[in-house]
Copies of this chain bind each other. A is one copy, B any other.
């Protein structure tokens, strides 16, 4: 599995692990892949603590950081605050969510972080993103990635000044071309079957299109990849490595909510959908009473990102707090971003075992294919 890309990043296997959990990021980097910490729910101080902790665990092995950086960067002080965005939520939407939570007997939240942090920059604001990037750069990451849309010129310039490669996600060939024209060093071609924000084109079609469109820029395949056979398929499609997210959510190290982890273990590949109900943009997640309510004809139209997120996330926090309460139906509402490979997450395993099984199945698969070529 060793190739140019793993050589370039100083890793054994070109398996890039997107995760919000520092334990998973460290464990993947220790197992020979490359952990990429998604710093989306972090404050700059929290990110600093987590990257310090990861460095202690992994020594001089590489780790990456993923931040959502908006394409337009107007300069400091131009961002909306949490309070500004909260003011954009219509009363009817608040009522719809409150009615839904009441119907499932979800108690009121003890602390409402979104309201408490009213003066903080809103999620997805440039001010928040660049604050996180500054912290990330101080820890000498092996790469920085922008999870949503094109990395802005300021981000690419800051990274390249420090000799750090920039990765960006693309759900269509023209997005990948735009990224490369802007200076991006590594494209994550993410198919519709992936968890989180995705487009409509499947990995099987998208990867070779993007590989051809941006050659010789290397491409990681994302979406539908959770085991060695799928890594071999990704390499056959022309990818130089893979970017996996969902597969780590059922590992021992993952901080996935226990109720959601239990749902993931039981779910089939047919139990996800792309829904705007959590962030305002189409994001693949587990189907639950929450997504059913937003898909129903009576639901209000979802709000734009990040307004929908500031409506949904406090509700999701209340749901998480009540998920174990036998007097609440919160567990029925609980969900999380996950791809269609959720159907093959049937057992909680440590991260290093997941990586080793991927590598072993990859080698078996390629040897089998090579053997059948010789027989012909």
> In the complex, are the beta carbons of A205 and B193 less than 8 A apart?
yes
Nearest CB of chain B from residue A229's CB, rounded to whole Å: 5
Task: Indicate whether A204 reaches chain B with its CB closer than 8 angstroms.
Answer: yes
Nearest to A339 among chain B residues (CB) is: B205
> In the complex, are the beta carbons of B224 and A205 less than 8 A apart?
yes
Option from B173, B204, B234, B238 in Cβ contact (under 8 Å) with A203: B204
Chain B residue numbers with a CB within 8 Å of A192 are: 192, 202
> In the complex, are the beta carbons of B193 and A204 less than 8 A apart?
yes
> In the complex, are the beta carbons of B375 and A209 less than 8 A apart?
no
Option from B173, B204, B238, B370 in Cβ contact (under 8 Å) with A366: B370
Chain B residue numbers with a CB within 8 Å of A238 are: 229
Task: Indicate whether A269 reaches chain B with its CB closer than 8 angstroms.
Answer: yes
Identical subunits present: 2
Which parts of A348-376 form the interface with B (CB within 8 Å)?
363, 365-367, 369-370, 372-373, 375-376
> In the complex, are the beta carbons of A209 and B363 less than 8 A apart?
no
> In the complex, are the beta carbons of A270 and B201 less than 8 A apart?
yes
Instruction: Write out, one digit per residue, whether chain A residues 340-352 have a CB within 8 A of any chain B CB (1) or not (0).
Output: 1101100000000
Nearest to A212 among chain B residues (CB) is: B344
> In the complex, are the beta carbons of A204 and B232 less than 8 A apart?
no
Chain B residue numbers with a CB within 8 Å of A289 are: none
Which A residues fall within an 8 A CB radius of B?
A: 1-3, 172-174, 191-193, 199-206, 208-209, 223-225, 227, 229-230, 232-238, 268-270, 273, 339-341, 343-344, 363, 365-367, 369-370, 372-373, 375-376
- A133 to B258 alpha-carbon distance, docked (Å): 53
23 CB < 8 A contacts A-B:
A1-B372, A191-B202, A193-B201, A201-B269, A201-B340, A202-B203, A202-B224, A203-B204, A205-B339, A205-B343, A206-B269, A208-B229, A208-B344, A209-B344, A232-B236, A233-B234, A236-B236, A236-B366, A363-B373, A366-B369, A366-B370, A367-B373, A370-B370
- A229 to B191 alpha-carbon distance, docked (Å): 16
Option from B229, B270, B273 in Cβ contact (under 8 Å) with A236: B229
Option from B174, B204, B227 in Cβ contact (under 8 Å) with A202: B204
